């Protein structure tokens, strides 16, 4: 392979110093360095005849400027051959926003395995983390140095440090939901899983309790593990209104509802506090799928972080949809 053409190759071919060549080629001629028109032309000609391409990494090393690269990482695979991936829309949103703002994207494929992972993330000016974190050791060491990091979804790994994340506007959405249910019910069952510790659900739960309290509605808390007991089912059905924390929890109840001949809008009302990304739970969907927007926002948030903003959270409002499980209330 031919050695790459460097600035000093261009300079010596043009018979000028590297300083002059640099000034001309980086378009900065005129700042602290001025170059005569004749010389500038010579440099330009030398560069193009040699096919000079600047080494962006070296430029960045020297200047320390934002290199206009956003890293995206996750432990999951965002590009399965089936494009209906859980994370695809987040990614698409990030990509669109990055493109709009003139940023490139570095996909960190090997974050999971590689030991030198934290150093690879530093090739970018900042990073966006999608999905569940299995291990935060490297993340924490990046955060220690205020490395610009934005999480998609609520995170609490700060160890006291601020954590930048973008989330759906669950607080407002839960409030609207409770408002709707309160038209007919004064008790709401809340079924959550003791297992799903991956994504913190305490805040969703808190929003729900607060919204119910404001309207003097009783919350019947039903924590379940991996299966539903008859008494769980009875509590839910007798309340008439139910909020499930996650879709997989709803799925545990569905056969029971069928067995008892009740279905969304007939004998049971409510919603699930999770965005319906696979689009398979239409009757229970509570709000629009705005994953694309959340992805975009994460990129916008990171970019404004890079230009000095210290804002910690970004929120994407999630408008309530009418579905079978809330219709007619």
Minimum gap (Å) between residue 12 Cβ and DNA: 11
Tokens matching residue 55: 């080494």
Tokens matching residue 309: 């903003």
- Residue 231 binding target from DNA, a copy of itself, none, CB below 5 to 8 Å by type: none
Q: Which of 28, 34, 84, 327 binds a copy of itself (CB under 8 A)?
A: 84
Sketch the per residue contact string, 136 through 155, with a copy of itself: x for CB under 8 A, - otherwise: ----xxx-xxxx--------
- Residue 114 binding target from a copy of itself, DNA, none, CB below 5 to 8 Å by type: a copy of itself
Minimum gap (Å) between residue 64 Cβ and DNA: 6
- Check residue 39 for interaction with DNA (CB under 7 A): yes
Q: Which of 54, 117, 196, 306 binds DNA (CB under 7 A)?
A: 54
**Alpha carbons 177 and 182: distance in angstroms, whole number:** 9
What backbone torsions phi and psi does residue 153 show, to the nearest 5 degrees?
A: 105, 155
Q: Which helix (H) or strand (E) holds 39?
A: helix 37-50
Minimum gap (Å) between residue 211 Cβ and DNA: 49
Part in contact with DNA (CB under 7 A); list of ranges 58-66, 87-95, 182-190, 219-227: 58-66
Span between the terminal Cα atoms of the chain, in Å: 72
User: Closest by alpha carbon to 192, among 209, 175, 179?
Assistant: 209
Minimum gap (Å) between residue 48 Cβ and a copy of itself: 8
Kindly tell me the burial class for residue 85, based on how many C-beta atoms sit within 10 Å of its own C-beta (0-12, 13-18, 19 or more): middle
- Check residue 159 for interaction with a copy of itself (CB under 8 A): no
Q: What is the DSSP string of 1-37?
A: -PPPP-HHHHHHHHTS-HHHHHHHHTT-TTSS----H
Helix (H, G, I), strand (E, B) or coil at 244: strand
Q: Are 156 and 305 in contact (CB under 8 A)?
A: no
Tokens matching residue 140: 């924490």
Helix (H, G, I), strand (E, B) or coil at 40: helix
Q: Binders of DNA among 8-37, rule CB under 7 A?
A: 8, 16-20, 22-23, 25-26, 28, 31-36
- Residue 33 binding target from DNA, a copy of itself, none, CB below 5 to 8 Å by type: DNA
Between 111 and 257, CB nearer to a copy of itself:
111
Helix (H, G, I), strand (E, B) or coil at 210: helix
Minimum gap (Å) between residue 101 Cβ and DNA: 21
Between 9 and 172, CB nearer to DNA:
9
What backbone torsions phi and psi does residue 220 show, to the nearest 5 degrees?
A: -95, 100
- Residue 145 binding target from DNA, a copy of itself, none, CB below 5 to 8 Å by type: a copy of itself
**Alpha carbons 329 and 327: distance in angstroms, whole number:** 6
**Alpha carbons 22 and 8: distance in angstroms, whole number:** 9
- Check residue 320 for interaction with a copy of itself (CB under 8 A): no
Binding site for DNA (CB under 7 A): 3-4, 6-8, 16-20, 22-23, 25-26, 28, 31-36, 38-39, 54-55, 58-59, 61-64
Binding site for a copy of itself (CB under 8 A): 1-2, 4-5, 48, 51-61, 67-69, 77-81, 83-84, 88-89, 91-93, 95-96, 98-99, 102-110, 113-114, 116, 118-120, 122-123, 140-142, 144-147, 292
């Amino acid at each position: 392979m031919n050695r790459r053409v460097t600035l000093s190759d261009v300079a010596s071919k043009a018979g000028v110093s590297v300083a002059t060549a640099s000034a001309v080629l980086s378009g900065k001629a005129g700042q602290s360095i001025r170059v005569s028109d004749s010389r500038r032309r010579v440099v330009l000609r030398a560069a193009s005849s040699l096919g000079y391409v600047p080494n962006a990494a070296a430029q960045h090393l020297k200047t320390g400027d934002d290199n206009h690269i956003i890293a995206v990482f996750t432990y999951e695979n965002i590009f399965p051959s089936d494009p209906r991936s859980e994370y695809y829309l987040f990614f698409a949103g990030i990509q669109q926003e990055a493109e709009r703002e003139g940023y490139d994207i570095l996909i960190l494929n090997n974050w999971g395995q590689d030991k030198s992972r934290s150093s690879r993330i530093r090739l970018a000016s900042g990073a966006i983390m999608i999905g569940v974190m299995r291990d935060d050791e490297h993340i924490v060491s990046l955060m220690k140095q205020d490395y610009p990091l934005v999480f998609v979804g609520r995170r609490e790994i700060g160890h006291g440090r601020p954590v930048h994340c973008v989330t759906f506007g669950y607080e407002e959405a839960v409030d609207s939901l409770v408002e709707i249910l309160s038209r007919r019910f004064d008790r709401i069952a809340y079924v959550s899983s003791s297992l799903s510790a991956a994504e913190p659900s305490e805040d969703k739960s808190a929003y729900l309790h607060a919204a119910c309290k404001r309207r003097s509605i009783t919350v019947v808390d039903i924590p379940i593990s991996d299966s539903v007991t008859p008494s769980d089912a009875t509590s839910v059905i007798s309340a008439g209104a139910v909020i499930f924390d996650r879709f997989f929890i709803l799925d545990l109840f569905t056969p029971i509802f069928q067995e008892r001949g009740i279905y969304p809008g007939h004998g049971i009302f409510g919603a699930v506090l999770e965005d319906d990304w696979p689009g398979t739970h239409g009757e229970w969907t509570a709000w629009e799928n705005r994953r694309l927007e959340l992805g975009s926002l994460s990129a916008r948030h990171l970019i404004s972080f890079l230009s000095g903003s210290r804002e910690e959270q970004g929120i994407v409002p999630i408008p309530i949809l009418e579905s079978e499980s809330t219709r007619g209330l």
